[in-house]
Every structure is written in C-alpha cells, then in structure tokens.
Amino acid sequence: MTTIRPMPRPPGLSAAPRQPEAVASASAAAPQPERRGGLFGGLFGRREQGQKATPADGYVCGDPDIRGEELAPVTSRIRGCGIPEPVRVTSVDGIRLTTAATIDCTTARALKTWINEGMRPAFGRPEVVELRIAASYICRPRNNVRGAKISEHGRGKAIDISGFILSNGRELSVSGDYNRMMRRAQKAACGIFGTTLGPGSDGYHEDHLHFDTSNMDRPYCR
C-alpha cells in the first residue's frame, strides 16, 4: 500500500506562526490616538485628565453648567476698559439669559453660585427659567456720570438683571414687581458678589439688580 506524504514546505517560508504575545507587544508599542471628550464629554463634562474645555464643547470657564463661547481679548482705547479673557455666556445651570452676557469667568462663576444658593431658594416655585439681562460688558463711567471712574461693566466684572421669567410664563420686572422674593435674592448675593445694588440703594439702580465681582474681600451691599 502506497503512503501519501505532504509536500515539503518551500524553502524560506517561516514555519513559526506569529504568536499572540508578539501581536500584543506590537500593538502596545504603536502610538495610540489621543482621546478627546467628544460629544458626550462636552455635554456632561467627562474629560481626560489634564484636558481643557474648548469652545467646541459648548461650555466655558471649565464648567459644563456655564454655556457659551470664549471670545478674543476685549481691548479699548479708553484706559481701564477691556477683558483679557472674556466669555459670552448664554445660560447658567439651565437658566437662560435673554441677552448673552460678555463677562469674565470670575463673574460667570459667581452668577452660578448666586443662582443656586440665592435666587432659586428665594423664588421657589414656579421656578425661574430665564433672567432678563440689562447689561454686561460696556465701556463707560460709573452710573454714566461724566468724569467718574470706569464702571466694573467696563472690566467685564459686572452684570445687571432687570427681570425674572418664570416657568409658568409670567415675567417679573425689578422696576414694577420688586417683591419679597427679589429682595431675598438680592440679599443673598451679598458676599457672593463684591458689590450688590438694587432699588433704594443710590437712585441709579431702581430698575435692575447690579452685581459685580470687585472688592470681593470687602463686600458692599445696599
């Protein structure tokens, strides 16, 4: 009986198959692509250690609750005006701003703190869903008085709020509806902001609440 034998392996062809360990080693040695926050990282703030938030993520000041965009430095020919690192904020912790506010991150973070620790407890329900913004960055003297010092608005450190829009659609204005809830919210801003002004303070703030982050070590509240 004839025995059938396999054909001999051609010379030069390696007989040793590549081992899994070699594959794993090669994979580990290959450069890995940089991981990015992506859509979900931007929305929920889960980022790789050491990564910074970018304008494409939709939030600013390194805080997913502060929505908006970073802007180029604001400069002015008028001495004292300008913002080195401005942001344009459109909402804070789910509270929309009727007009985007151009401010610095210190002021944006203070606004978030006040919303959660001052405004929300003061108003309760129906809850506030939107803030009517009267002013943010603008290069002008204090109270628009000629010859006065530059306002904190001119440094991006101030924001003015003239009204509160509630979840039931009702809008309360500082000028026409300055009530117990607004007074409580204004009082709670003292210390969160360096300066807190409103109706009855100096005659210049009868129709809005003025908050700024100057003199944080010695708050001025009226």
d(CA 30, CA 90): 43
pLDDT at residue 54 greater than cutoff 80: no
Ranges 10-19, 52-61, 182-191: which has the least confidence: 10-19
Q: What is the mean pLDDT of residues 8-31?
A: 43
d(CA 11, CA 14): 8
pLDDT at residue 17 greater than cutoff 50: no
Which stretches does DSSP call E strand in 104-188? 128-135, 158-166, 171-173
Percent of the chain with pLDDT over 70: 73
Give the model confidence (pLDDT) of 198-218 as tens digits.
Answer: 999 888 899 999 999 998 888
Nearest Cα to Cα of residue 138 among 219, 186, 193, 210:
210
pLDDT at residue 34 greater than cutoff 70: no
Question: Which DSSP letter does residue 112 get?
Answer: H
Residue 153 pLDDT? 96
Kindly report the length of the chain.
222
CB 166 within 8 A of CB 95: no
Give the model confidence (pLDDT) of 60-83 as tens digits.
Answer: 999 999 999 999 999 999 999 999
Domains in the chain (CATH in brackets) are 53-221 (3.30.1380)
